[in-house]
Structure 1
Protein backbone atom coordinates (compact mmCIF):
# COMPACT_ATOMS: atom_id res chain seq x y z
CA UNK A 1 0.00 0.00 0.00
CA UNK A 2 2.84 2.39 0.80
CA UNK A 3 4.68 1.76 -2.45
CA UNK A 4 1.44 2.26 -4.36
CA UNK A 5 1.31 5.80 -3.01
CA UNK A 6 4.98 6.81 -3.27
CA UNK A 7 6.27 8.80 -6.19
CA UNK A 8 9.95 9.26 -7.08
CA UNK A 9 11.31 12.82 -6.96
CA UNK A 10 11.36 14.87 -10.14
CA UNK A 11 14.63 14.35 -11.99
CA UNK A 12 16.29 15.85 -15.03
CA UNK A 13 18.43 13.74 -17.32
CA UNK A 14 20.75 14.66 -20.15
CA UNK A 15 20.62 18.36 -19.45
CA UNK A 16 17.90 20.87 -18.85
CA UNK A 17 15.95 20.15 -22.03
CA UNK A 18 15.31 16.44 -21.35
CA UNK A 19 12.57 15.47 -18.86
CA UNK A 20 12.78 12.22 -16.87
CA UNK A 21 9.41 10.47 -17.44
CA UNK A 22 9.74 7.85 -14.74
CA UNK A 23 7.38 9.76 -12.41
CA UNK A 24 4.64 9.73 -15.02
CA UNK A 25 5.27 6.05 -15.78
CA UNK A 26 4.92 5.21 -12.09
CA UNK A 27 1.71 7.23 -11.84
CA UNK A 28 0.28 5.34 -14.81
CA UNK A 29 1.22 1.97 -13.29
CA UNK A 30 -0.33 3.00 -9.98
CA UNK A 31 -3.54 3.94 -11.77
CA UNK A 32 -3.64 0.57 -13.49
CA UNK A 33 -3.01 -1.16 -10.16
CA UNK A 34 -5.86 0.79 -8.57
CA UNK A 35 -8.24 -0.21 -11.38
CA UNK A 36 -7.15 -3.85 -11.13
CA UNK A 37 -7.77 -3.84 -7.38
CA UNK A 38 -11.21 -2.34 -7.92
CA UNK A 39 -12.05 -5.02 -10.49
CA UNK A 40 -10.83 -7.73 -8.13
CA UNK A 41 -12.99 -6.42 -5.29
CA UNK A 42 -16.03 -6.23 -7.60
CA UNK A 43 -15.49 -9.82 -8.75
CA UNK A 44 -15.16 -11.02 -5.16
CA UNK A 45 -18.37 -9.23 -4.18
CA UNK A 46 -20.19 -10.72 -7.17
CA UNK A 47 -18.90 -14.18 -6.27
CA UNK A 48 -20.11 -13.85 -2.69
CA UNK A 49 -23.52 -12.66 -3.87
CA UNK A 50 -23.81 -15.55 -6.33
CA UNK A 51 -22.93 -18.05 -3.61
CA UNK A 52 -25.55 -16.53 -1.33
CA UNK A 53 -28.22 -16.60 -4.05
CA UNK A 54 -27.36 -20.21 -4.90
CA UNK A 55 -27.56 -21.24 -1.26
CA UNK A 56 -30.99 -19.60 -0.91
CA UNK A 57 -32.23 -21.35 -4.06
CA UNK A 58 -31.08 -24.71 -2.69
CA UNK A 59 -32.85 -24.00 0.59
CA UNK A 60 -36.02 -23.10 -1.33
CA UNK A 61 -35.93 -26.45 -3.12
CA UNK A 62 -35.44 -28.38 0.11
CA UNK A 63 -38.36 -26.52 1.64
CA UNK A 64 -40.56 -27.42 -1.34
CA UNK A 65 -39.68 -31.09 -0.91
CA UNK A 66 -41.19 -30.96 2.60
CA UNK A 67 -44.66 -30.07 1.27
CA UNK A 68 -47.36 -32.29 2.74
CA UNK A 69 -49.91 -31.77 -0.06
CA UNK A 70 -50.55 -29.67 -3.16
CA UNK A 71 -51.96 -26.69 -1.27
CA UNK A 72 -48.98 -26.73 1.10
CA UNK A 73 -46.61 -26.79 -1.87
CA UNK A 74 -48.35 -23.75 -3.40
CA UNK A 75 -48.13 -21.94 -0.06
CA UNK A 76 -44.41 -22.66 0.20
CA UNK A 77 -43.72 -21.46 -3.35
CA UNK A 78 -45.83 -18.30 -3.13
CA UNK A 79 -45.33 -17.33 0.52
CA UNK A 80 -42.27 -18.94 2.11
CA UNK A 81 -40.09 -18.46 -0.94
CA UNK A 82 -40.48 -14.67 -0.85
CA UNK A 83 -38.12 -14.24 2.09
CA UNK A 84 -35.71 -16.92 0.91
CA UNK A 85 -35.41 -15.42 -2.56
CA UNK A 86 -35.44 -11.80 -1.36
CA UNK A 87 -38.49 -10.74 -3.36
CA UNK A 88 -41.78 -9.14 -2.36
CA UNK A 89 -44.35 -11.24 -4.21
CA UNK A 90 -44.44 -14.64 -5.91
CA UNK A 91 -47.30 -15.95 -8.02
CA UNK A 92 -48.06 -19.12 -9.91
CA UNK A 93 -50.17 -18.61 -13.02
CA UNK A 94 -51.82 -21.06 -15.40
CA UNK A 95 -53.51 -20.46 -18.72
CA UNK A 96 -57.01 -21.69 -19.34
CA UNK A 97 -60.71 -21.47 -18.71
CA UNK A 98 -61.53 -20.69 -15.04
CA UNK A 99 -64.59 -22.95 -15.25
CA UNK A 100 -62.45 -25.93 -16.22
CA UNK A 101 -59.35 -25.53 -14.03
CA UNK A 102 -60.80 -23.61 -11.10
CA UNK A 103 -60.74 -26.76 -9.01
CA UNK A 104 -56.94 -26.79 -8.77
CA UNK A 105 -56.59 -23.08 -8.10
CA UNK A 106 -55.79 -21.93 -4.59
CA UNK A 107 -54.30 -18.87 -2.98
CA UNK A 108 -51.32 -17.53 -4.88
CA UNK A 109 -52.45 -19.12 -8.18
CA UNK A 110 -53.96 -16.96 -10.92
CA UNK A 111 -55.66 -17.99 -14.16
CA UNK A 112 -54.54 -16.22 -17.33
CA UNK A 113 -56.30 -16.09 -20.70
CA UNK A 114 -54.82 -18.45 -23.31
CA UNK A 115 -51.84 -16.88 -25.09
CA UNK A 116 -50.96 -14.59 -22.17
CA UNK A 117 -47.67 -16.33 -21.33
CA UNK A 118 -46.37 -16.11 -24.91
CA UNK A 119 -47.34 -12.44 -24.87
CA UNK A 120 -45.36 -11.92 -21.67
CA UNK A 121 -42.27 -14.01 -22.47
CA UNK A 122 -42.27 -14.18 -26.25
CA UNK A 123 -43.19 -17.33 -28.19
CA UNK A 124 -40.97 -20.23 -27.15
CA UNK A 125 -39.01 -18.17 -24.61
CA UNK A 126 -38.40 -19.76 -21.22
CA UNK A 127 -37.72 -16.66 -19.11
CA UNK A 128 -37.89 -12.91 -19.08
CA UNK A 129 -36.42 -10.38 -16.65
CA UNK A 130 -38.25 -7.06 -16.56
CA UNK A 131 -36.58 -4.07 -14.86
CA UNK A 132 -39.87 -2.16 -15.14
CA UNK A 133 -42.85 -4.47 -14.91
CA UNK A 134 -45.66 -1.95 -14.52
CA UNK A 135 -48.85 -2.93 -12.75
CA UNK A 136 -49.80 -6.53 -13.46
CA UNK A 137 -53.01 -7.37 -11.57
CA UNK A 138 -53.45 -10.60 -13.54
CA UNK A 139 -50.06 -11.80 -12.27
CA UNK A 140 -49.94 -10.53 -8.71
CA UNK A 141 -53.50 -9.68 -7.71
CA UNK A 142 -53.57 -7.36 -4.67
CA UNK A 143 -49.76 -7.06 -4.74
CA UNK A 144 -49.72 -5.68 -8.30
CA UNK A 145 -49.21 -2.05 -7.27
CA UNK A 146 -46.25 -3.09 -5.11
CA UNK A 147 -44.35 -4.88 -7.88
CA UNK A 148 -42.06 -2.67 -9.97
CA UNK A 149 -39.63 -5.26 -11.39
CA UNK A 150 -40.04 -8.98 -11.92
CA UNK A 151 -38.60 -12.27 -13.17
CA UNK A 152 -40.83 -14.60 -15.17
CA UNK A 153 -40.31 -18.28 -16.03
CA UNK A 154 -42.44 -20.59 -18.16
CA UNK A 155 -43.78 -23.75 -16.48
CA UNK A 156 -44.49 -26.87 -18.54
CA UNK A 157 -46.38 -29.32 -16.35
CA UNK A 158 -47.07 -32.22 -18.69
CA UNK A 159 -48.89 -33.53 -21.74
CA UNK A 160 -52.38 -32.14 -21.94
CA UNK A 161 -51.87 -29.80 -18.98
CA UNK A 162 -52.09 -26.01 -19.33
CA UNK A 163 -48.82 -24.12 -19.38
CA UNK A 164 -47.94 -22.01 -16.39
CA UNK A 165 -45.80 -19.13 -15.22
CA UNK A 166 -43.65 -18.52 -12.17
CA UNK A 167 -43.56 -14.78 -11.41
CA UNK A 168 -41.17 -13.25 -8.87
CA UNK A 169 -41.90 -9.59 -8.19
CA UNK A 170 -39.86 -6.95 -6.37
CA UNK A 171 -40.79 -3.48 -5.20
CA UNK A 172 -37.40 -2.15 -6.28
CA UNK A 173 -37.30 -0.95 -9.92
CA UNK A 174 -34.41 -2.49 -11.80
CA UNK A 175 -33.89 -5.37 -9.36
CA UNK A 176 -34.22 -7.73 -12.33
CA UNK A 177 -32.41 -6.84 -15.53
CA UNK A 178 -32.17 -8.61 -18.91
CA UNK A 179 -28.39 -8.71 -18.46
CA UNK A 180 -28.63 -10.93 -15.38
CA UNK A 181 -28.26 -14.70 -15.56
CA UNK A 182 -31.38 -16.86 -15.44
CA UNK A 183 -29.88 -20.26 -14.57
CA UNK A 184 -31.23 -20.34 -11.02
CA UNK A 185 -34.63 -19.06 -12.13
CA UNK A 186 -34.82 -21.89 -14.67
CA UNK A 187 -33.72 -24.39 -12.02
CA UNK A 188 -36.45 -23.27 -9.61
CA UNK A 189 -39.03 -23.42 -12.40
CA UNK A 190 -38.00 -26.98 -13.29
CA UNK A 191 -38.22 -28.07 -9.65
CA UNK A 192 -41.66 -26.49 -9.37
CA UNK A 193 -42.82 -28.24 -12.54
CA UNK A 194 -41.84 -31.60 -11.08
CA UNK A 195 -43.51 -30.84 -7.78
CA UNK A 196 -46.79 -29.93 -9.50
CA UNK A 197 -46.65 -33.08 -11.65
CA UNK A 198 -46.06 -35.16 -8.56
CA UNK A 199 -49.02 -33.82 -6.57
CA UNK A 200 -51.45 -33.70 -9.51
CA UNK A 201 -50.18 -36.98 -10.98
CA UNK A 202 -49.60 -35.46 -14.40
CA UNK A 203 -47.70 -37.27 -17.17
CA UNK A 204 -44.26 -36.00 -18.10
CA UNK A 205 -43.96 -33.71 -21.14
Structure 2
Protein backbone atom coordinates (compact mmCIF):
# COMPACT_ATOMS: atom_id res chain seq x y z
CA UNK A 1 0.00 0.00 0.00
CA UNK A 2 1.48 3.37 -1.05
CA UNK A 3 0.57 7.04 -1.36
CA UNK A 4 -1.39 8.75 1.39
CA UNK A 5 -2.67 5.50 2.86
CA UNK A 6 -0.88 4.33 5.99
CA UNK A 7 0.84 1.00 5.75
CA UNK A 8 -0.62 -1.83 7.87
CA UNK A 9 0.94 -5.23 8.21
CA UNK A 10 -0.77 -7.53 5.69
CA UNK A 11 -1.44 -10.27 8.25
CA UNK A 12 -2.93 -7.77 10.69
CA UNK A 13 -5.04 -6.16 7.97
CA UNK A 14 -6.37 -9.53 6.84
CA UNK A 15 -7.20 -10.51 10.40
CA UNK A 16 -9.12 -7.28 11.02
CA UNK A 17 -11.07 -7.60 7.77
CA UNK A 18 -11.95 -11.21 8.47
CA UNK A 19 -13.08 -10.52 12.06
CA UNK A 20 -13.73 -6.80 12.70
CA UNK A 21 -15.43 -7.70 15.97
CA UNK A 22 -12.05 -7.98 17.66
CA UNK A 23 -11.64 -4.23 17.23
CA UNK A 24 -15.10 -3.45 18.60
CA UNK A 25 -14.51 -5.59 21.68
CA UNK A 26 -11.23 -3.90 22.59
CA UNK A 27 -12.10 -0.69 24.45
CA UNK A 28 -8.57 0.71 24.36
CA UNK A 29 -8.26 0.26 20.59
CA UNK A 30 -11.71 1.74 19.99
CA UNK A 31 -10.86 4.70 22.21
CA UNK A 32 -7.69 5.33 20.22
CA UNK A 33 -9.60 5.15 16.94
CA UNK A 34 -12.25 7.60 18.17
CA UNK A 35 -9.55 10.02 19.37
CA UNK A 36 -7.80 9.80 16.01
CA UNK A 37 -11.09 10.46 14.22
CA UNK A 38 -11.74 13.55 16.35
CA UNK A 39 -8.31 14.92 15.44
CA UNK A 40 -9.08 14.50 11.74
CA UNK A 41 -12.48 16.23 12.06
CA UNK A 42 -11.06 19.23 13.93
CA UNK A 43 -12.37 21.24 16.87
CA UNK A 44 -15.35 22.80 15.08
CA UNK A 45 -17.26 19.52 14.61
CA UNK A 46 -19.20 17.90 17.42
CA UNK A 47 -19.06 14.09 17.25
CA UNK A 48 -22.34 12.99 18.82
CA UNK A 49 -21.44 9.33 18.39
CA UNK A 50 -18.21 9.88 20.29
CA UNK A 51 -20.06 11.62 23.12
CA UNK A 52 -22.59 8.78 23.25
CA UNK A 53 -19.77 6.27 23.34
CA UNK A 54 -18.09 8.04 26.26
CA UNK A 55 -21.34 8.02 28.19
CA UNK A 56 -21.87 4.32 27.46
CA UNK A 57 -18.32 3.58 28.63
CA UNK A 58 -18.93 5.48 31.87
CA UNK A 59 -22.17 3.60 32.38
CA UNK A 60 -20.42 0.28 31.70
CA UNK A 61 -17.74 1.17 34.27
CA UNK A 62 -20.44 1.82 36.87
CA UNK A 63 -22.21 -1.44 36.05
CA UNK A 64 -18.95 -3.39 36.33
CA UNK A 65 -18.21 -1.78 39.70
CA UNK A 66 -21.72 -2.63 40.92
CA UNK A 67 -21.25 -6.19 39.70
CA UNK A 68 -17.97 -6.52 41.61
CA UNK A 69 -19.59 -5.14 44.76
CA UNK A 70 -22.50 -7.57 44.49
CA UNK A 71 -20.14 -10.52 44.05
CA UNK A 72 -18.04 -9.40 47.02
CA UNK A 73 -21.14 -9.02 49.20
CA UNK A 74 -22.36 -12.48 48.16
CA UNK A 75 -19.05 -14.08 49.15
CA UNK A 76 -19.08 -12.17 52.45
CA UNK A 77 -22.62 -13.35 53.22
CA UNK A 78 -21.70 -16.92 52.38
CA UNK A 79 -18.68 -16.77 54.67
CA UNK A 80 -20.82 -15.33 57.46
CA UNK A 81 -23.43 -18.05 57.01
CA UNK A 82 -20.75 -20.75 57.21
CA UNK A 83 -19.43 -19.22 60.43
CA UNK A 84 -22.87 -19.21 62.03
CA UNK A 85 -23.53 -22.81 60.97
CA UNK A 86 -20.24 -23.96 62.51
CA UNK A 87 -21.01 -22.06 65.71
CA UNK A 88 -24.49 -23.61 65.93
CA UNK A 89 -23.08 -27.12 65.54
CA UNK A 90 -20.62 -26.37 68.34
CA UNK A 91 -23.48 -25.27 70.60
CA UNK A 92 -25.10 -28.68 70.17
CA UNK A 93 -22.01 -30.71 71.13
CA UNK A 94 -21.62 -30.31 74.95
CA UNK A 95 -23.31 -32.78 77.29
CA UNK A 96 -22.75 -30.62 80.40
CA UNK A 97 -23.72 -27.01 81.11
CA UNK A 98 -20.23 -25.94 82.16
CA UNK A 99 -18.79 -27.32 78.92
CA UNK A 100 -21.50 -25.41 77.06
CA UNK A 101 -20.43 -22.17 78.73
CA UNK A 102 -16.72 -22.86 78.31
CA UNK A 103 -17.27 -22.80 74.54
CA UNK A 104 -17.99 -19.08 74.93
CA UNK A 105 -14.48 -18.45 76.19
CA UNK A 106 -12.37 -19.63 73.24
CA UNK A 107 -14.07 -21.90 70.71
CA UNK A 108 -17.02 -19.77 69.62
CA UNK A 109 -15.08 -16.48 69.52
CA UNK A 110 -12.54 -18.16 67.25
CA UNK A 111 -15.24 -19.51 64.94
CA UNK A 112 -17.05 -16.16 64.77
CA UNK A 113 -13.78 -14.18 64.55
CA UNK A 114 -14.54 -11.94 67.47
CA UNK A 115 -12.41 -11.01 70.48
CA UNK A 116 -14.77 -11.55 73.41
CA UNK A 117 -18.03 -13.28 74.22
CA UNK A 118 -19.98 -12.88 77.43
CA UNK A 119 -23.30 -14.31 78.63
CA UNK A 120 -25.33 -11.99 80.86
CA UNK A 121 -28.12 -13.42 83.02
CA UNK A 122 -30.43 -11.37 85.17
CA UNK A 123 -30.87 -13.04 88.55
CA UNK A 124 -31.44 -12.43 92.23
CA UNK A 125 -28.43 -14.65 92.91
CA UNK A 126 -25.39 -12.70 94.10
CA UNK A 127 -22.44 -12.36 91.76
CA UNK A 128 -20.32 -13.54 94.71
CA UNK A 129 -21.92 -16.97 94.61
CA UNK A 130 -19.15 -19.63 94.21
CA UNK A 131 -20.87 -21.19 91.19
CA UNK A 132 -21.03 -17.80 89.48
CA UNK A 133 -17.43 -16.99 90.36
CA UNK A 134 -16.26 -20.23 88.79
CA UNK A 135 -17.77 -19.19 85.46
CA UNK A 136 -16.97 -15.49 85.71
CA UNK A 137 -14.85 -15.55 82.54
CA UNK A 138 -17.93 -16.08 80.41
CA UNK A 139 -20.88 -15.39 82.73
CA UNK A 140 -22.04 -12.08 84.19
CA UNK A 141 -24.91 -12.08 86.68
CA UNK A 142 -26.80 -8.79 86.85
CA UNK A 143 -29.77 -7.35 88.67
CA UNK A 144 -33.23 -7.54 87.04
CA UNK A 145 -33.66 -4.75 84.49
CA UNK A 146 -29.95 -4.44 83.73
CA UNK A 147 -30.19 -5.82 80.17
CA UNK A 148 -32.86 -3.40 78.98
CA UNK A 149 -30.96 -0.51 80.55
CA UNK A 150 -27.71 -1.60 78.89
CA UNK A 151 -29.34 -1.90 75.48
CA UNK A 152 -31.29 1.37 75.59
CA UNK A 153 -28.77 3.42 77.62
CA UNK A 154 -31.73 5.11 79.31
CA UNK A 155 -33.34 6.21 76.06
CA UNK A 156 -36.99 5.60 75.27
CA UNK A 157 -36.41 3.25 72.34
CA UNK A 158 -37.66 -0.26 71.56
CA UNK A 159 -35.38 -3.14 72.55
CA UNK A 160 -34.51 -5.27 69.53
CA UNK A 161 -33.32 -8.86 69.63
CA UNK A 162 -30.05 -7.87 67.94
CA UNK A 163 -28.30 -4.56 68.62
CA UNK A 164 -25.11 -3.66 66.73
CA UNK A 165 -23.08 -0.65 67.87
CA UNK A 166 -19.81 0.78 69.06
CA UNK A 167 -19.21 0.08 72.73
CA UNK A 168 -20.82 2.23 75.37
CA UNK A 169 -19.01 3.97 78.28
CA UNK A 170 -20.20 1.39 80.84
CA UNK A 171 -19.01 -1.63 78.84
CA UNK A 172 -16.54 -2.46 81.63
CA UNK A 173 -19.47 -4.03 83.46
CA UNK A 174 -19.57 -6.63 80.68
CA UNK A 175 -15.95 -6.96 79.60
CA UNK A 176 -14.06 -6.12 82.78
CA UNK A 177 -10.43 -5.19 82.11
CA UNK A 178 -10.84 -6.08 78.43
CA UNK A 179 -13.23 -3.14 77.96
CA UNK A 180 -10.41 -0.77 77.04
CA UNK A 181 -9.70 -2.56 73.73
CA UNK A 182 -13.25 -3.58 72.76
CA UNK A 183 -14.46 -1.12 70.10
CA UNK A 184 -17.75 -2.57 68.81
CA UNK A 185 -20.28 -5.12 69.96
CA UNK A 186 -23.26 -7.18 68.94
CA UNK A 187 -25.83 -7.67 71.73
CA UNK A 188 -28.22 -10.60 71.36
CA UNK A 189 -31.17 -10.46 73.73
CA UNK A 190 -32.29 -13.92 74.84
CA UNK A 191 -35.78 -15.09 75.72
CA UNK A 192 -35.15 -17.88 78.22
CA UNK A 193 -38.75 -18.98 78.53
CA UNK A 194 -41.93 -18.15 80.38
CA UNK A 195 -41.41 -17.08 83.97
CA UNK A 196 -37.67 -16.50 83.54
CA UNK A 197 -35.76 -13.24 83.41
CA UNK A 198 -34.12 -12.39 80.08
CA UNK A 199 -30.51 -13.04 79.15
CA UNK A 200 -28.09 -11.44 76.74
CA UNK A 201 -25.17 -12.76 74.72
CA UNK A 202 -22.60 -10.06 73.95
CA UNK A 203 -20.05 -10.34 71.13
CA UNK A 204 -17.15 -7.92 71.40
CA UNK A 205 -14.57 -6.94 68.79
CA UNK A 206 -11.43 -4.80 68.65
CA UNK A 207 -12.52 -3.70 65.18
CA UNK A 208 -14.83 -0.64 65.50
CA UNK A 209 -16.38 -1.51 62.15
CA UNK A 210 -17.21 -5.18 62.77
CA UNK A 211 -20.57 -4.39 64.37
CA UNK A 212 -22.33 -1.33 62.95
CA UNK A 213 -26.04 -0.41 63.05
CA UNK A 214 -26.17 -0.44 59.24
CA UNK A 215 -25.16 -4.11 59.04
CA UNK A 216 -27.71 -6.87 58.45
CA UNK A 217 -28.83 -8.87 61.48
CA UNK A 218 -30.47 -11.95 59.93
CA UNK A 219 -27.63 -14.37 60.70
CA UNK A 220 -27.17 -13.12 64.26
CA UNK A 221 -30.93 -13.27 64.83
CA UNK A 222 -30.84 -16.92 63.78
CA UNK A 223 -27.86 -17.59 66.07
CA UNK A 224 -29.61 -15.87 68.99
CA UNK A 225 -32.68 -18.07 68.42
CA UNK A 226 -30.59 -21.24 68.52
CA UNK A 227 -28.63 -20.08 71.58
CA UNK A 228 -31.70 -19.20 73.63
CA UNK A 229 -33.30 -22.55 72.83
CA UNK A 230 -30.14 -24.33 73.96
CA UNK A 231 -30.17 -22.27 77.17
CA UNK A 232 -33.79 -23.20 77.85
CA UNK A 233 -32.81 -26.87 77.63
CA UNK A 234 -30.07 -26.40 80.23
CA UNK A 235 -32.29 -24.33 82.53
CA UNK A 236 -35.25 -26.73 82.43
TM-score range for the pair, normalised by the shorter chain length: 0.7 to 0.9
5+ residue gaps, structure 2, are 1-23, 153-157
* C-alpha separation in 2, matches of 1:77 and 1:189: 13
Deviation at 1:116, TM superposition (A): 2.0
* 1:39 maps onto 2:66 in alignment: yes
Which of 71, 79, 87 pairs up with 1:52? 79
User: Could you tell me which residue of structure 1 aligns to residue 201 of structure 2?
Assistant: 166
TM-score normalised by L of structure 2: 0.76
TM-aligned CA distance change 1:82 to 1:117, over 3 Å: same
Deviation at 1:78, TM superposition (A): 3.6
TM-score normalised by L of structure 1: 0.87
Find the residue that maps to 1:99 and give its secondary structure: coil
* 1:196 maps onto 2:231 in alignment: yes
User: Could you tell me which residue of structure 2 aligns to residue 62 of structure 1?
Assistant: 89
Deviation at 1:132, TM superposition (A): 4.3
TM-aligned CA distance change 1:16 to 1:50, over 3 Å: closer
Find the residue that maps to 2:26 and give its secondary structure: helix
TM-aligned CA distance change 1:116 to 1:143, over 3 Å: same
TM-aligned CA distance change 1:104 to 1:28, over 3 Å: farther
* 1:117 maps onto 2:147 in alignment: yes
* C-alpha separation in 1, matches of 2:88 and 2:193: 20
- Please list the CA deviations of residues 140-186 of structure 1 after superposition, one character each: whole Å capped at 9, or x if unmatched: 22321221100001011112222111100000112211111111111
Deviation at 1:12, TM superposition (A): 7.8
User: Could you tell me which residue of structure 2 aligns to residue 148 of structure 1?
Assistant: 183
Which of 37, 41, 49 pairs up with 1:22? 49
Find the residue that maps to 1:196 and give its secondary structure: helix
TM-aligned CA distance change 1:76 to 1:16, over 3 Å: closer
* C-alpha separation in 2, matches of 1:102 and 1:162: 18
Give the CA RMSD over aligned residues.
2.5
TM-aligned CA distance change 1:40 to 1:134, over 3 Å: farther
* 1:10 maps onto 2:38 in alignment: yes
Deviation at 1:99, TM superposition (A): 2.6
5+ residue gaps, structure 1, are none
